[in-house]
């Protein structure tokens, strides 16, 4: 597999020059032992405009006028695939078959079958691969699981996550665009156990047929229930809640890249008695001045730092979101999508966190 240089410097290639790629580059520039070695876009003009916008030193970073040229660049250890989502499977497979490790933005694929192909290809090539569900790398998420395991809210019986925004209804799939964050959160709460999708209510865009508003009920092996709601046609608080036998945990906006959560103990008949609410906070890392395009993009540093560690240690996957966890999240999405009629699986929507 591709390895960092003799000094442990990890050389990143950036495939795609959109908003999320810009945020990632701004973060990578601040990480020790990290170089943005190359950028690939569809034209030379796009690549140069991107380099200027994120203040890359073109004495260090090679600018490529095509994605294929980036893939062929032997100076690159890992490619960050941030092309439009409908390209993710093909672009990732091209990188892997060329011997490049890959970090692929969400959603990595429109179906569980495509996910399986990508994961099996990475394994066969002996290459690192990560589906960039950056939520899994936030310290607040780690602390959240520790808090659940401590028993402070008793046994978890249900969890809910809602990610609705008025942004792009009809142009892409709400389930793949925002629902994936809801699904990964619910699986995190229930220790990544594989749930059964017990019910789905959906609204499809009348022109494109894309799912624009979806609610789903998940049944977990422990008896717990998870509910999610995602939409691209209206807004919601975009928060998450975990309910236990002795209390509640609330994760405020933006729950998918959290910096805090509140633990509220509750006890007594009808839960009339509230204990003292405790807020756990994890400040964002200092990751450059920006400007950033997405909320809490500084937190991409957690994901990128873990990728660097894995590559330096010769790991083929990140323990916080390994192939099995990835497959389970994407299987839930696939199961939900199978409950309604979707357009061709090619259209997964634009890349973004």
Summarize pLDDT for 145-192 with one digit per residue, the tens: 999 999 999 999 999 999 999 998 989 999 999 999 999 999 999 999
Let me know if the fold of 10-135+298-321 is the same as that of 139-281: no
Domain 139-281 superfamily per CATH: Dihydrodipicolinate Reductase; domain 2 (3.30.360.10)
The torsion angle over the Cα atoms of residues 25, 30, 36 and 42, rounded to 10 degrees, is 10
Q: Name the region of 71 (left: φ>0; alpha: ψ -120 to 50; beta: rest).
A: alpha
Residue 353 pLDDT grade (very low, low, confident, very high; cuts 50, 70, 90) = low
Q: Note the CATH number of domain 10-135+298-321.
A: 3.40.50.720
Burial class for 175, CB neighbours closer than 10 Å (0-12, 13-18, 19+): buried
What pLDDT does 273 receive?
78
* CA–CA gap between residue 79 and residue 336 (Å, rounded): 30
pTM of the entire predicted model: 0.93
Could you tell me the residue ranges of all domains in the chain?
A: 10-135+298-321, 139-281
pLDDT for 28-82, tens place per residue?
999 999 999 999 999 999 999 999 999 999 999 999 999 999 999 999 999 999 9
The confidence band for 350, taking pLDDT boundaries of 50, 70 and 90, is very low
């Amino acid at each position: 597999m591709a390895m960092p240089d003799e000094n442990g410097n990890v050389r990143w290639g950036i495939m795609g020059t959109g908003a999320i790629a810009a945020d990632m580059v701004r973060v990578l520039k601040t990480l020790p032992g990290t170089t943005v070695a190359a950028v690939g876009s569809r034209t030379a003009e796009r690549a140069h405009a991107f380099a200027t916008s994120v203040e890359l030193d073109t004495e260090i970073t090679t600018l490529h006028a095509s994605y294929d040229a980036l893939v062929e660049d032997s100076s690159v250890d890992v490619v960050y695939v941030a092309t439009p989502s409908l390209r993710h499977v093909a672009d990732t497979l091209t990188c892997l078959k060329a011997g490049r490790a890959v970090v692929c933005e969400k959603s990595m694929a429109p179906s569980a079958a495509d996910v399986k192909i990508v994961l099996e290809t990475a394994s066969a090539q002996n290459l690192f691969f990560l589906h960039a569900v950056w939520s899994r790398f936030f310290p607040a998420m780690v602390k959240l699981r520790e808090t659940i395991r401590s028993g402070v809210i008793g046994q978890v019986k249900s969890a809910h996550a809602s990610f609705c925004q008025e942004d792009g209804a009809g142009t892409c799939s709400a389930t793949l665009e925002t629902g994936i964050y809801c699904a990964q959160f619910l699986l995190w709460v229930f220790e990544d156990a594989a749930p059964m999708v017990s019910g789905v209510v959906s609204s499809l865009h009348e022109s494109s047929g894309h799912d624009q508003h979806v609610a789903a009920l998940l049944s977990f092996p422990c008896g717990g229930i998870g509910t999610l709601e995602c939409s691209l046609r209206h807004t919601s608080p975009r928060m998450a809640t975990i309910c236990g036998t002795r209390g509640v945990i609330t994760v405020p906006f933006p729950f998918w890249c959290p910096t805090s959560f509140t633990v509220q103990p509750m006890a007594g008949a009808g839960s009339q008695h509230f204990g003292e609410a405790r807020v756990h906070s994890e400040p964002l890392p200092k990751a450059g001045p920006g400007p950033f395009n997405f909320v809490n993009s500084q937190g991409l540093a957690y994901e990128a730092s873990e990728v660097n560690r894995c590559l330096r240690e010769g790991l083929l996957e990140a323990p916080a979101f390994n192939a099995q966890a990835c497959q389970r999240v994407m299987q839930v999405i696939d199961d939900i999508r199978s409950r309604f009629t979707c357009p061709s699986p090619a259209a997964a929507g634009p890349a973004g966190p």
